[in-house]
Structure 1
Amino acid sequence: MAVNKCIKYLLFFFNLLFWISGCIILGVSIYLKVSKDGNVITNESLPGIDLMIAIGVIILVLGFLGCWGAIRENRCLLLLFFISLLVIFVLLLAAGILGAVEEKKVKIWMKDRLKTFIPLSSQPDNVIEDLEKLQKELKCCGLVNGPSDWTKIPESCRCNATETDCKSNAIYQESCSDKIINLMEQHLEVVLGIAFAIAILLIFGMVFSMILYCQISRKDGATTTTTA
């Protein structure tokens, strides 16, 4: 029994796109990691860049395994590819469930990480500079407890009385951690959409790889029978 060429090349092109996307994710992640524009505060509270680098590397490896396994009709590589996709799918599903169920714990974890910067005034100049940039951009003051995180309130905390975020004493009262959490919640739908798209791709990859694996097994079995 011959292997279906359509399935074979569909899997190959799927993995080629998978590999290219891994290259893009890895390249962008490394650029952000080494970029001088990286903010110490956001890197600490949202260590997503390191995760993106890891994801990029994993996708690169899996894309290569899938491409090579499809072209060479290698059952071992295809099975390894299938198992890897299955593991990632389960982890993605588990992460989504945990993220929804343990949302409060995630917020507490993030605030606990940011508390390590308090008192803010005693931090190195580069950290203070990054924090002041963050305060200007998000229109907030302090990391966890608001203005009280500072021993001396900087200019970046001061606001115009006409601004909606300006509460009293011409100083932003909301902490930056609350602003970051609100920002995360606003973009949650986008994140879920991306996760859903990845899950669909993983399912297609698993289906194609298993179909090809089964066809190769039948082909090898038929060849062995004929030879015998």
Structure 2
Amino acid sequence: MGKVNVLLKRSYVCTISVIAITAVLTLGITVFSHGVLLDEEDVHIFKGIYSLYGISVIPLLFAIIGGFGVWKEKKWALIVFAVGMILGCLFFIVLEISLPFAYQQMELMVKNKYLSLLPLSNLSESELSELDYTQSEFHCCGLTSLEDWENDIPESCQCDMDSSDECVDTYGSMRNDSGLNFSNVKPIRIYAKPCLPVLIQLGMSHVSIFIGITLAKTLLWLLSVGLCVAVLCQLNKKVDTPNVVYSREAKAGSYDILNDAQEPSLKTE
């Protein structure tokens, strides 16, 4: 069995340590998200959470096996790590190829999710608070138009006096931050831009971030596979042993002096 280069071994250990730390962080975030979303009834959310459990636990196990293999110089453990990581890389490559094709379908799903909230007057307190924040932050009103509020327009839709955004004048009741409605005698200026395109863009930006993270993780896993294969090659390398050469002097050893001393005495006798 060959000897593994120290620099190569340290590079491999650092790489699988990063994989293990990333897996632990992902597992912690997944457990926290599972606890927060425990009361949700959306099946798709829990499918994503269960997928995150697999994405975090499986590489953590392989990283432990790979660390054991390089520590004890066990070839079977390194082979298991390499095969598992190669399969994981293939899975992520297929996922990255398929995601751009499913981009439009995912965009349609996000759109239908928000349109299912109409009319906005039936939203819960948490949903109203989230939409109010979106309207005030991105200077928009309603999902498709201000009519989505059915004459119960929140104060977050109101344009500032010095706002450079496109605004429209409207009459009707308006809801302030305390939830009370009041009627307006004079027209009020409301943001003309709907919030649905903004919400769709935000939702799809999360998909783009996921694609970037997946690509970075794939490259890291490919690096670990390359280092693991290099370690295996050095372990499989045969150590050169010196050839044994016959030598008369080596066979005679240190006893030649005694033999030379005894030969004259034998001749005199």
Instruction: Calculate the TM-score normalised by the size of structure 2.
Output: 0.61
Secondary structure of 2:153's aligned partner: coil
User: Structure 1 residues 163 and 101 mapped into 2: Cα distance closer, same or farther (>3 Å)?
Assistant: farther
Secondary structure of 1:142's aligned partner: coil
Partner of 1:71: 71
1:45, 1:110 within 8 Å by CA — same for their partners in 2? no
Partner of 1:15: 16
What is the distance in 2 between the residues matched to 1:126 and 1:210?
52
User: Structure 1 residues 101 and 125 mapped into 2: Cα distance closer, same or farther (>3 Å)?
Assistant: same
Partner of 2:25: 24
1:201-223 residue CA offsets vs partner (Å, 9 max, x unmatched): 1211111223334555x37x99x
5+ unaligned residues in a row in structure 2: which ranges? 170-188, 240-269
Partner of 1:113: 113
What is the distance in 2 between the residues matched to 1:31 and 1:91?
25
2:111, 2:200 within 8 Å by CA — same for their partners in 1? no
Task: After superposing the two structures, state which structure 1 stretch, 88-97 or 101-110, moved more.
Answer: 88-97
User: Structure 1 residues 148 and 201 mapped into 2: Cα distance closer, same or farther (>3 Å)?
Assistant: same
User: Structure 1 residues 172 and 83 mapped into 2: Cα distance closer, same or farther (>3 Å)?
Assistant: farther
1:11, 1:66 within 8 Å by CA — same for their partners in 2? no
What is the distance in 1 between the residues matched to 2:75 and 2:195?
52
Q: CA shift at 1:62, angstroms? A: 3.4
Q: CA shift at 1:156, angstroms? A: 2.0
Partner of 1:180: 199
User: Structure 1 residues 126 and 188 mapped into 2: Cα distance closer, same or farther (>3 Å)?
Assistant: closer
User: Structure 1 residues 74 and 129 mapped into 2: Cα distance closer, same or farther (>3 Å)?
Assistant: same
2:66, 2:77 within 8 Å by CA — same for their partners in 1? yes
Instruction: Name the amino acid aligned to 2:129.
Output: E
What is the distance in 1 between the residues matched to 2:200 and 2:94?
21
Q: CA shift at 1:187, angstroms? A: 8.0
What is the distance in 1 between the residues matched to 2:45 and 2:147?
23
Q: Aligned ranges for residues 83-122 of structure 1 at < 5 Å?
A: 83-122=83-122
Q: CA shift at 1:168, angstroms? A: 1.8
Partner of 2:231: 212
Secondary structure of 1:4's aligned partner: coil
1:89, 1:199 within 8 Å by CA — same for their partners in 2? yes
Secondary structure of 1:159's aligned partner: coil
User: Structure 1 residues 63 and 176 mapped into 2: Cα distance closer, same or farther (>3 Å)?
Assistant: farther
Q: CA shift at 1:28, angstroms? A: 4.8
What is the distance in 2 between the residues matched to 1:114 and 1:168?
23
What is the distance in 2 between the residues matched to 1:180 and 1:46?
18
- Root mean square deviation, CA, Å: 3.8
Secondary structure of 2:78's aligned partner: helix
User: Structure 1 residues 31 and 188 mapped into 2: Cα distance closer, same or farther (>3 Å)?
Assistant: closer
Instruction: Calculate the TM-score normalised by the size of structure 1.
Output: 0.70
1:141, 1:176 within 8 Å by CA — same for their partners in 2? yes
**Which structure has more strand as a fraction of its residues?**
2
1:198 matched to 2:198? The reply is: no
Partner of 1:137: 137
Q: Count matched residues.
A: 214
What percentage of residue pairs aligned between the two structures are identical?
Answer: 23
Instruction: Name the amino acid aligned to 2:195.
Output: C
